[in-house]
């Protein structure tokens, strides 16, 4: 492939874990376990960590809790160059505060949801929301990856909005995470914006995306299959004949997990395998995985080779 097209040469690329947020017995974030898990993921194949996204239950935590969790990662010795926290909130001032905080710690970039409570906003309204945040953060280091997840947010990010933001803030809009699960959407972003780093939100579509200019994936399943997902990326980069087989294996592992409530399932798996029962708890409205589902997941995990 031409050097300019190689994903590993792009500023944002690779396998990023949409990392889980462990809770202690009081249901507050457990900073020690959080940092240990982030280090485990980096040591086992992840290029970076995306804390406080959908998988991290971000919208169940306060601004103060999210800031403290991010500080805990950096204070533990994790390089901020490997961190891309979620900062998008319904309230613009909260998004500004979280984004400024991430920049103050030296994070590589931020993953930003649109304001998502009020539905059917105009493109102009979304433009003003994002542009106001960028103007108020006012940091030349700021790099934003827009977060397109219409199944959850119900607020799609249209191409016209991306073009306006990219034109108005050159270099600030660095890319986009597409968690729509729709290949036509991912393909459309990659072809329309070759200058941006487009990440599928699932490894299932990563190889297809890499082949047309995508840069990797930001995936929940990296919490339990970092080595398997990284193997696909590395095989593609090296031109290995095993690339399609490795992708098929990673896809099968993802699809097996999706038979369960994904966040509670991964938390229960880590709790059981690491003998850390406190890991089992999500924050309400999620509930822990029940014992009957765990019995099935235990067998699935052994078959898929999940690494926890």
Give catalytic residue positions. Answer: 54, 117, 147, 177
What are residue 265's phi and psi, to 5 degrees? -65, -45
C-alpha distances (whole Å) from 305 to each of 46, 161, 226 are: 17, 41, 11
State the Cα–Cα distance between residues 149 and 225, nearest whole angstrom.
22
Cα atoms in the Cβ-side hemisphere of radius 13 Å centred on 178: 29
Nearest CA-CA partner of 88 in 109, 57, 114: 114
Q: Is 214 buried (19+), middle (13-18) or exposed (0-12) by CB count in 10 A?
A: buried
- List, in sequence order, every residue forming a beta bridge with 112; answer none if it has no partner: 146
Q: How many CB atoms lie within 10 A of CB 178?
A: 30
SS (H, E, C) 104-120: HHCCCCEEECCCCCCCC
The DSSP letter of residue 290 is: P
Edge-to-edge strand ranges of the sheet holding 216-219: 48-50, 14-18, 216-219
Instruction: State how far Cα 259 lies from the chain centre.
Output: 20
- Region label for 171, one of left (φ > 0), alpha (ψ between -120 and 50) or beta (otherwise): left
Between helix 63-75 and helix 31-43 the angle, nearest 10°, is 50
């Amino acid at each position: 492939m031409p050097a300019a097209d190689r994903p590993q040469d792009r500023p944002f690329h690779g396998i990023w874990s949409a990392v889980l947020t462990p809770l202690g017995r009081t249901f507050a974030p457990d900073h020690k376990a959080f940092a240990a898990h982030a280090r485990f993921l980096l040591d086992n194949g992840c290029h970076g960590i995306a804390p406080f996204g959908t998988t991290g239950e971000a919208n169940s935590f306060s601004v103060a809790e999210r800031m403290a969790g991010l500080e805990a990662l950096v204070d533990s010795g994790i390089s901020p160059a490997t961190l891309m926290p979620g900062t998008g909130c319904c309230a613009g001032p909260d998004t500004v505060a979280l984004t400024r905080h991430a920049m103050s710690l030296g994070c590589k970039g931020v993953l930003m949801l649109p304001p998502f409570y009020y539905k059917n906003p105009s493109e102009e309204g979304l433009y003003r929301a994002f542009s106001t945040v960028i103007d108020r953060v006012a940091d030349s280091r700021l790099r934003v990856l827009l977060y397109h997840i219409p199944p959850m947010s119900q607020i799609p990010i249209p191409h016209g909005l991306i073009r306006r933001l990219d034109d108005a803030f050159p270099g600030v809009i660095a890319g986009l995470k597409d968690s729509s699960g729709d290949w036509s959407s991912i393909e459309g972003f990659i072809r329309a914006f070759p200058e941006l780093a487009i990440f599928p939100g699932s490894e299932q579509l990563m190889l297809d995306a890499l082949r047309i200019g995508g840069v990797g994936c930001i995936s929940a399943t990296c919490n339990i299959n970092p080595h398997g997902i990284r193997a696909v990326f590395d095989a593609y980069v090296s031109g290995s004949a095993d690339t399609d087989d490795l992708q098929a294996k990673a896809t099968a592992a993802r699809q097996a997990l999706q038979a369960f409530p994904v966040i509670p399932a991964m938390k229960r798996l880590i709790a059981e395998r690491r003998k850390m029962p406190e890991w089992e708890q999500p924050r309400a409205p999620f509930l822990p995985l029940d014992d009957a589902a765990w019995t099935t997941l235990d067998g699935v995990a052994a078959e898929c080779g999940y690494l926890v």
